[in-house]
Structure 1
Amino acid sequence: MSNIIAIVWDFDKTLINGYMQDPIFKRFGVDSKEFWAEVNSLPARYLQDQGVRVNPDTVYLNQFIKYAKNGPFKGLNNEMLRAFGKEQNFYPGVPEIFLKTKELIEKDEIFKEYDIKVEHYIVSTGMSEVIKGSKVSEYTDGIWGCELIEDEDSQGNRVISEVGYTIDNTSKTRALFEINKGIGKKDGIDVNTKLPQEHRRVHFINMIYVADGPSDIPAFSVVNKNSGATFAIYPKGDMKAMKQVEQMRNDGRINMYAEADYTEGTTAYMWICNKIREFAENIRNSEREKILKFAAAGTPKHLVE
């Protein structure tokens, strides 16, 4: 029985208002617009100057490492990144919605018989250490993000020096399959393990993907294709962002969208809770039908001559 309902969240502009690196720029006095403009220019520059292609989603990590070694972020390490997690500007209702959605099902008597659970995952192209240091981490069941390796500088201090692991907007889909198969939850299972659908830990039909825009279309597509649910967020008062997610809904990329506010009574809160309960009802009904089917077959009895 697959009794797990998974809500998979993007991070930047989905759970927080802005980018997770904003507190870093503020602390070190770096102009964020200038930083991102430089980062955005790198793919074309490297291709023209060196004939080298780079991943536009994750090339920013190299810039952070460069700045940490000999630049405005000098001395930046993973411990500091975790500390910056505490300075994240979360949207209203976060992290409360993480706990409330779990309790919605797990404290309801009609679902206890089937031990139906709600789990939360974060899949981000940002830095996983920042997410792990934030207040949502204690409510999550798994975090996928970019990992940075440290080394010692000339003074013996730890500093980020290499890219260890990356998640880009396309490889987010790999993370979804890892959640689907139960990577990290089941021993001996990896993303390439051939595993029949019925034995996968989280069925896509019980998965909700929440994100903010077109960069998440590959992940939205995987969840939609497999009959899960998709939901987009836009910042309050941002007409351009609202039109963007409205177009995505018109194009069939997402099921629904709402303003980025997860407090009780808002559209985002109610839609997500309603979808979770709908999934739980489907799991319960499916299991009840199985039991009734076996019960209808009856119990073998002695034959009477």
Structure 2
Amino acid sequence: MNLMIMEAKAKGISLKRDSFKQFGKDVELFKGVKEWFGIINRYGKENDLEIKHYINSSGMKEMIEGTEIAKEFEAIYACSFIYNVDGIAYWPSIAVDYTTKTQFLFKINKGIKSVSDNIAINEYVPDDERPVPFKQMIYFGDGETDIPSMKLVKEHGGNSIAVYKPRDGNKKIIAEKLISENRVNFVCPADYSEDKEIYKVVTTIIDKIKSDYDFENLQKLHKANADKSKSKNNK
């Protein structure tokens, strides 16, 4: 990122925050992405579940903020610069690699929205008090920096989906290698339309999350009733 600043200065290019956001407006989204959030949020609501969306990216936060889907995210974890009073980048603020992405997952898990907060992330929070349990996460990844995060989510009981550009044979091979190596749960072409594979996979996962949640609550209820009866019998 510092190299980007130096190269821009050498070529007389101004890295303004507004320029990054403008670039974001021109980002081409995969088919169905714009409609995806409304469709999945509605499906979650029909199952008495609240769906939250996060971005965990090694791309530029300001560019992501410029996209038409930025408003759909609870928080955006990504690279960013420090800007001067004129809104011009002069130093890297947050640089994101595969290690940082895994750290961001724990921030999401604990409900920490600040990218730079390094205190709350290290505080102990019991698993049952964390707002976004790993087992209820669905992670979409399409790059090498996503692989450790996808594996982490999978190992913690959540679900990871390796997505690839439709009709790109090489990308498909790479994605399928990940599922063969047990680093992801699913592999899908990046078409988010309601009748496509990603929709089928995600709605099935949501059904399972709901079922598991109901099952756990039923177990807790039975245990609570048993403990209550035991307490009465001991009096």
- Distance in 2 (CA, whole Å) between partners of 1:172 and 1:300 is 47
In the superposition, relative to structure 1, how do residues 184 and 260 fare at CA in structure 2: closer, same or farther (>3 Å)? closer
- Distance in 1 (CA, whole Å) between partners of 2:134 and 2:100 is 17
2:50 to 117, 121, 128: 117
Deviation (angstroms), 1:300: 8.3
- Distance in 2 (CA, whole Å) between partners of 1:181 and 1:124 is 18
- Distance in 2 (CA, whole Å) between partners of 1:244 and 1:262 is 20
* Post-superposition CA distance 1:256-297 (Å, at most 9, x none): 111110001111111012112211221122223323433454
Gaps in structure 2 of 5+ consecutive residues? none
Match of 1:85 in 2: 24
Deviation (angstroms), 1:212: 1.1
Pick the structure with more helix per residue.
2
What code does the residue aligned with 1:70 have? Answer: A
Match of 1:104 in 2: 43
CA radius of gyration, larger in: 1
Query: Is the CA contact (8 Å cut-off) linking 2:82 and 2:90 kept in structure 1?
Result: yes
Deviation (angstroms), 1:107: 3.1
The residue correspondences of 1:1-12 to structure 2 (distance < 5 A) are none
Match of 1:16 in 2: none
Gaps in structure 1 of 5+ consecutive residues? 1-60
1:71 to 7, 11, 35: 11
Match of 2:67 in 1: 134
TM-score under structure 2 length normalisation: 0.89
Deviation (angstroms), 1:189: 7.0
Match of 1:162 in 2: 91
CA RMSD after TM alignment: 2.5
* Post-superposition CA distance 1:64-87 (Å, at most 9, x none): 212332316x12211111122111
Is 1:148 aligned with 2:88? no
Match of 1:202 in 2: 132
1:94 to 9, 29, 33: 33
Match of 1:179 in 2: 108
- Distance in 2 (CA, whole Å) between partners of 1:158 and 1:177 is 31
- Distance in 1 (CA, whole Å) between partners of 2:144 and 2:179 is 11
The residue correspondences of 1:43-62 to structure 2 (distance < 5 A) are 61-62=1-2
- Tell me the matched-pair count: 231
Query: Is the CA contact (8 Å cut-off) linking 1:245 and 1:257 kept in structure 2?
Result: yes
1:288 to 205, 209, 218: 218
Is 1:234 aligned with 2:173? no
Deviation (angstroms), 1:193: 0.8
Deviation (angstroms), 1:200: 1.4
What code does the residue aligned with 1:182 have? Answer: G
Query: Is the CA contact (8 Å cut-off) linking 1:69 and 1:159 kept in structure 2?
Result: no
TM-score under structure 1 length normalisation: 0.70
What code does the residue aligned with 2:32 have? Answer: G
